[in-house]
Amino acid sequence: MPSSKITTVSELKNYLYLAMQLEHATLPAYLTALYSIKPGTNTDAVHILRVVAVEEMLHLTIAANLLNAIGGTPDLTRPGFVPSYPTYLPDGETDFTVGILRFGKEAVETFKKIERPSKGDGRLVRRSYAAGTSVLGRHPESDEMHFYSIGDFYKAIADGFELLEAEAQGLGRTIFTGDPKRQVTSEYYYSGGGTLFAVTDLESAKRAITLVMTQGEGTESSIYDGDDELSHYYRFDQLTHGRYYQKGDEPHHPTGPALTVDWEASYPIAANVKLANFPAGTELSDAARSFNQAYAKFLKTITRAYDGKPELLLAAVPLMFDFRNLITELVRNPLPDSAGCNAAPTFEIDAVTAAEALAAAREEVVA
Amino acid sequence: MSAPKTGEDSRLDQFLAFSAEVTAFGVVALQGTGQAEAYLRTVDGVVGTALVDELLGLHAGAPRAAGNEGGAARGVHLRRTIFGDGRLGPVARNIVKLWYSGVWYELPAAWTESYGPAPKDVTFVVSPSSYVEGLLWTAIGAHPAGAKAPGYGSWAGPPRIPRFAGDRLSPPAAEPVDGAVDAERVPA
């Protein structure tokens, strides 16, 4: 029976890989919704989605720092790193799916669930899924056991750091054996809330985990996080209420300036579309494939950045603008035989990686 | 915005097919600008739907290109019936300019003298987004000033020129340049 208690460094590394997967998994959903918004409309929503997406990238980088701090090797190119959408996330006793959807009420409700404050007691729950289903927040050694909530998942990680470091210190050692040069710090990262710092000891590790948790959910006593920034859940909640929060507000009762949302002003993209839904051999399926290749290249570049070359995060910036342009092109094109829906990015990254590996292997055989 | 009826839809398809051939960009790239409907509305609004229908009809009826010779024959046909025509030619050229720059250019004075007043025929930018979505930026591997920024540090890499339909594979200058800023050259 798997336990939620982490007892070895190698287990902790597995958890941190899953944390990176989890932090990343929100990006395709947030970015697609963001870029599905019609130009010139929904400026408040554009701003909110952009801020949250940038902070999710920060969380991804923080998870990489945590993994590097204990001598792990982040790898965003491993098969299954990018889930197949819709993917499942824990939500107390039950779960919900995160999909690739157009901006609208359904998408915002999902985003609020992703960022919702957790109320678990750190336990695992058993949930069964069909084979091949992507599930986030599961136990690294069991496909069936899942954390009650994302907060509980991070709580297990924080406890693991504490326990393992105390054990190591007792033996005159430390678990923070990673090369500090592999840490990504703020000189390579900009334009987001929260700051990036090196994880080199228990104190900085705990600070990093707290930042990830409170930027999403807020602190126990406030809708704001430790840096006085409104948490992601309440940022999205502003769209539901059509009003901004301000300091002193109670949850669900924003009293700041009004904002406007035009729920219909997004391109009507087909939900969770796959390459198989595109007519083969067309310019449109080429465009969908180009997007997956560009995204795979982006993940490859940031993997190298997290693998000892933090300066490569700067090279990843233009790659993000590239795939943004490819997404906006896709969402404006009608998808044939989809009842009037438009095309969308498919995020089928494993297929790209597999094809590239095959091509590289062939080349080796020829050489 | 109401959904287009089937008839209007196929008219948009015809406009896209014509535009793809005369701009050398694919239909997906053209739709990807989000400007197709606005441009068709613009042309209709200035010169009237009858003239636009005539132009699109002639294009749709042009002989299909098969092989190099067929392509040449099609080119000759389009030049004679559309681009060489005193009435349709300036409008066809304006559609090319519209896609590349997002601007409707006032037709030559001789056109309005011969083919009648077109009160809306003045030079104007179709919309703020049409300026941003002009194909010229993509064609020269650049981006519109003040919009669609390509990301911090991207100027360290060479401009990326897309390959157009009918481009020869050589000379090397016409090759598409690989996406990334040369990762190793980024200063630490």
Stretch among A20-24, A179-183, A229-233, B100-104 having the lowest mean pLDDT = A229-233
DSSP line for B107-128: PPHHHHHHH---TT-S-EES-H
Query: Counting one residue from A and one from B, how many pairs have CB atoms under 8 Å apart?
Result: 75
**Nearest to B162, CA basis, from B30, B12, B37:** B30
Q: Which of A40, A284, A325 sits opposite B128 (nearest CB)?
A: A40
Residues of A in contact with B28 (CB under 8 A): 283-284, 286-287, 329, 333
Tell me phi and psi for residue B135, to 5 degrees: -70, -20
Q: Are B34 and A315 inside 8 Å of each other by CB?
A: no
| pLDDT for residue B5 is more than 70 | no
**Candidate from B28, B153, B188 with C-beta closest to A333:** B28
pLDDT number for residue A119: 67
Instruction: Name every residue in A having a CB less than 8 A away from some CB of B.
Output: 38-40, 190, 283-284, 286-287, 294, 297, 301, 304, 311-312, 314-315, 317-322, 325, 328-330, 332-334, 340
Q: Which residue has the higher pLDDT, A114 or A221?
A: A114
Tell me the per-residue pLDDT of A327-356, one tens digit each, with 9 for 90 and over. 999 999 999 999 999 999 999 999 998 888
Split at pLDDT 50, 70, 90, the class of B180 is very low
pLDDT for position B166 = 65
Q: Which residue has the higher pLDDT, A203 or B181?
A: A203
Write out pLDDT tens, residues A286-303.
Answer: 999 999 999 999 999 999
Return the residue in A189, A278, A302, A319 with the most chain B beta carbons within 10 A, the one to mutate for interface testing: A319
Q: What is the pLDDT of residue A194?
A: 66
Closest CB from B32, B149, B186 relative to A332: B32
| Structure tokens belonging to residue A156 | 């297990």
Q: Which residues contact B34 (CB under 8 A, 6 or more apart)?
A: A38, A39, A328, A332, B129, B133
Phi-psi category of residue B164: left, alpha or beta, with phi > 0 → left and psi -120 to 50 → alpha: beta
User: Residue B12 in 3-state DSSP?
Assistant: helix
A194 versus A349: the higher-pLDDT residue is A349
Q: pLDDT exceeding 90 applies to what percent of chain A?
A: 66
Both structure tokens of B82: 């559309």
Using CB atoms within 10 A of its CB, is residue A183 exposed (0-12), middle (13-18) or buried (19+)?
A: buried
Least confident of A28-37, A272-281, B46-55, B175-184: B175-184
CB atoms within 10 A of CB A133: 14
Least confident of A204-218, A236-250, B115-129: A204-218
**Alpha carbons A295 and A107: distance in angstroms, whole number:** 22
The pLDDT of residue B31: 96
b (16+ CB within 10 A) / e for B82-104: beebeebbbbbbbbeebbbbbbb
**pTM of the complete model:** 0.89
Yes or no, beta carbons of B181 and A322 under 8 Å apart: no
What pLDDT, on a 0 to 100 scale, did the predictor assign at position A31? 97
Which tokens hold the place of B131? 């300026």
What does the alpha-carbon distance between residue A333 and residue A265 come to, in Å, rounded to a whole number?
Answer: 15
Contacts of A304 in chain B (CB under 8 A): 183
User: What does the alpha-carbon distance between residue A183 and residue A313 come to, in Å, rounded to a whole number?
Assistant: 12
**B3 to chain A, closest Cα gap in Å:** 9
Instruction: Give the single-character DSSP code of A218.
Output: -
- Range in A356-365, B68-77, B179-188 the model is least confident about: B179-188
pLDDT in the model for residue A169: 96
Q: Which residues of A touch B10 (CB under 8 A)?
A: none
How much of chain A, in percent, has pLDDT values that exceed 70? 96
The pLDDT of residue A367? 64
**Three-state DSSP state, A96:** strand
Q: Which residue has the tokens 């579309």?
A: A273
Residue B177 has pLDDT above 50, yes or no: no
Tokens of residue B92, six digits: 């066809």
| β-pairing verdict for A124-126 and A142-147 | antiparallel
| Closest Cα in chain A, distance from residue B172 (Å) | 22
**CA–CA separation, B114 vs A141, rounded Å?**
80
* B10 interfacial to chain A (CB closer than 8 Å): no
Q: How far, in Å, CA of A341 to CA of A104, rounded?
A: 14
Indicate the residue of B32, B33, B186 with minimum beta-carbon distance to A315.
Answer: B186
* Nearest partner of A174 among A198, A201, A199, judged by Cα: A201
pLDDT band for position A10 (cuts 50, 70, 90): very high
Predicted local distance difference test score (pLDDT) of residue A190: 63
Using DSSP, state whether B106 is helix, strand or coil. coil
Q: Residue range A349-366: average pLDDT?
A: 86
Please name which of A301, A289, A321, A288 lies closest in space to residue A76, comparing C-alpha atoms. A301
Query: Model confidence over B33-87: pLDDT tens digits?
Result: 999 999 999 999 999 999 999 999 999 988 887 777 777 888 899 999 999 999 9
Q: pLDDT digits over A227-251, tens only?
A: 788 999 999 999 999 999 999 899 9
Q: How far apart are the first and last CA of chain A?
A: 49
> What is the structure's pLDDT at A364?
80
Q: Is the pLDDT of residue A366 over 90?
A: no
Least confident of A6-10, A119-123, B92-96: A119-123
In tens, the pLDDT along A123-154 reads 788 878 887 788 888 888 887 888 888 888 99
CB-facing half-sphere around the CA of A290: CA atoms within 13 A: 21
* Contact in structure between A102 and A269 (CB atoms under 8 Å): yes
Give the mean pLDDT of chain A: 91
Specify the pLDDT at position B169. Answer: 58
* B27, B132, B154 member nearest A318 (Cβ): B154
Rounded Cα–Cα distance for residues A342 and B54 (Å): 30
Contacts of A291 (CB under 8 A, 6+ apart): A323, A326, A327, A330, A345, A346
| One-letter amino acid of A195 | T
Q: How confident is the model at residue B187 (pLDDT cuts 50, 70, 90)?
A: very low
With cut-offs at 50, 70 and 90, classify the pLDDT of residue A17. Answer: very high
Q: Is B19 exposed, middle or buried (0-12, 13-18, 19+ CB in 10 A)?
A: buried
